[in-house]
Amino acid sequence: MVFKCQEDSFLKEFTSKVLKCEETKESIVDYGKITNFEGYQIVLENTILFPAGGGQPHDIGWLDNIEVLQVLRKGDEALHFTKEPLAIGTTVTQKIQWERRFDHMQQHSGQHLLSAILEKEYALPTTSWWLGAEESYVELDASSVAEDVIRNVETRCNDLIRDAVTVNVKFCKANDPDLNEAHTRGLPKDCMDTIRIICIGDIDENMCCGTHVTNLSQLQVIKLLVTEPGKKGKTNLKFLVGNRVMKTFQHMLDREKALTALLKNEPNKHEELVSKVQKNLKIANKSLQNVLSELAQFEVDRIKNTQPKPKYIFMCKKEATPDFNRSICKALEGDGMFLFLASSEPDKPKEGQIIIQGPEEHCNELGQQITELLKAKGAFKHGKFQGKAGDLSGLNKCKKLVEEYFANV
Ligand SMILES: [Zn+2]
């Protein structure tokens, strides 16, 4: 069956009679994301809501005021998924979420154009394609594609968009001789009774069940992004068409504006500035490490020179790193003191690393309580505990616990 959406891809409103309404538990799949669904599947006499197929995602829209969350093709029927039932025999007004549909038309017709140029002019056939929520790609039967080929193909496609080449749809039956000229890429098996051939001027003829623009000028612009390794030695070429180019460009401008404010300089200096900041950070980190290791030595000397000798050390310095704490523990190993040292993660101050070390009797008494209070993961090994603490907000309680314990031993 050829649906109304395939006859007129620009129709935004349509009335049709309800033929079937059945309960369903089939999941909703949108841009590859699966969500559980319980509701109804409704069949209408005809539909302007496109059922997913041929690489094009389904439309969403409304039947009167009831939201259609998914449309699937089963045989020659389109199933409309809704949360509420509709009475069989009633006439409903269908409305389409046009922004989403037009976006799909731009990406899909853009894909036909892109695949045609790649195959006919660069011998790079498309083996499959994907329309995602953010980006789309064509899978090319090649292990790589040279950058100059990508730029030339992009220019060629945009020239044809500027030339406003007409796109029309030919309908024919399965035994029609016209079929030999067209490709069958992405055509569902149940679309075979009446076959649609999408013709882009004299550039391309392609069998397809999707909804398409009527003129290449409606694509506005095509932007080829990057290539990535695909399956089995193939290459995925990512692309954006029309409004997605505008949206992405705006997104990039906003990001650039934010970076300009942060770096306090013009965009063409960003790269230079970031690399300078990274270099300076490396130097600063190295200096900090030197200072910390001197500070650790200073702390060790201070503890060793304290009279009378302390029974325990409880240290959680703000600037401490796991390395800093480890070097203190190492220097005081075997000194008979109970040590507790903590350091927090710079980006997650509630989390960190702790070390507990000292005579077995004290570790046995305090170890478990401390690790529980701080939600620490790890185990005592050779009288020493080193591990991650999930919640450092219990540090004060730990300190009190240790103080009270040593006041009584
Ligand atoms: Zn197609």
How many C-alpha atoms does 145 have within 13 Å on its Cβ side?
Answer: 30
Q: What is the pLDDT of residue 190?
A: 56
Residues 141 and 240 in one domain: yes
Q: Is the dihedral of CA 116, 117, 119, 124 positive or negative?
A: negative
- Band of residue 409 on the pLDDT scale cut at 50, 70, 90: confident
| Spatial strand order in the sheet of 136-140 | 126-131, 136-140, 235-241, 222-229
Q: What is the pLDDT of residue 378?
A: 83
Q: What is the CATH number of the domain that holds 24?
A: 2.40.30.130
- Range with the lowest mean pLDDT among 60-69, 192-201, 279-288? 192-201
Q: What is the pLDDT of residue 191?
A: 54
Q: What is the pLDDT of residue 182?
A: 61
Q: Considering the domain boundaries, does residue 194 fall inside one?
A: yes
Residues 17 and 112 in one domain: no
- Band of residue 2 on the pLDDT scale cut at 50, 70, 90: confident
Residues 133 and 245 in one domain: yes
User: CA 134 → CA 3, 31, 131, 245, distances in Å?
Assistant: 27, 9, 8, 10
pLDDT digit string, tens, across residues 231-247: 999 999 999 999 999 99
pLDDT digit string, tens, across residues 74-109: 988 999 999 999 999 999 999 999 999 999 999 999
Separation of CA 90 and ligand 1 centre (Å)? 33
- Band of residue 188 on the pLDDT scale cut at 50, 70, 90: low
Separation of CA 36 and ligand 1 centre (Å)? 28
Token pair belonging to 125: 């056939």
Q: What is the pLDDT of residue 185?
A: 58
- Calculate mean pLDDT across residues 308-334: 91
The total number of structural domains in the chain stands at 3
Residues 133 and 205 in one domain: yes
Residue labelled with tokens 């999707």? 210
Statement: residue 183 has pLDDT above 80: no
Separation of CA 95 and ligand 1 centre (Å)? 23
Where does residue 204 fall: left (phi above 0), alpha (psi -120 to 50 degrees), or beta otherwise?
Answer: beta
- Band of residue 184 on the pLDDT scale cut at 50, 70, 90: low
Tell me if 166 sits within 8 A of 214, measured CB to CB: yes
- Read off φ and ψ for residue 380, nearest 5 degrees: -75, 135
Q: Considering the domain boundaries, does residue 55 fall inside one?
A: yes
CB atoms within 10 A of CB 395: 20
Residues 83 and 107 in one domain: no
- Band of residue 142 on the pLDDT scale cut at 50, 70, 90: very high
Separation of CA 210 and ligand 1 centre (Å)? 5
| Length of the chain, in residues | 409
- Band of residue 178 on the pLDDT scale cut at 50, 70, 90: low
Q: Considering the domain boundaries, does residue 267 fall inside one?
A: no
pLDDT digit string, tens, across residues 3-38: 999 999 999 999 999 999 999 999 999 999 999 999
Measured distance CA(315)–CA(342) in Å, rounded = 7
For helices 147-162 and 98-122, angle between their N-to-C axes, nearest 10 degrees: 120
Q: Considering the domain boundaries, does residue 276 fall inside one?
A: no
Give the structural domain span for 337.
305-407
- Band of residue 317 on the pLDDT scale cut at 50, 70, 90: confident
Residues 176 and 69 in one domain: no
Q: What is the pLDDT of residue 382?
A: 76
pLDDT digit string, tens, across residues 199-211: 999 999 999 999 9
- Range with the lowest mean pLDDT among 158-162, 174-178, 394-398? 174-178
Separation of CA 147 and ligand 1 centre (Å)? 25
Q: What is the CATH number of the domain that holds 344?
A: 3.10.310.40
Contacts of 328 (CB under 8 A, 6+ apart): 296, 299, 300, 315, 339, 341
Separation of CA 155 and ligand 1 centre (Å)? 22
Pairing state between β 13-24 and 376-377: unpaired
Statement: residue 187 has pLDDT above 90: no
Q: What is the pLDDT of residue 352?
A: 92
Separation of CA 250 and ligand 1 centre (Å)? 28
Of 61, 96, 131, the domain-final residue: 96
Q: Considering the domain boundaries, does residue 377 fall inside one?
A: yes
Tell me if 43 sits within 8 A of 115, measured CB to CB: no
Residue type, 160: L
Separation of CA 109 and ligand 1 centre (Å)? 7
Mean pLDDT (the chain) is 92
Q: What is the CATH number of the domain that holds 214?
A: 3.30.980.10
Nearest to 136 by CA among 46, 245, 62, 60: 245
pLDDT digit string, tens, across residues 365-374: 898 899 999 9
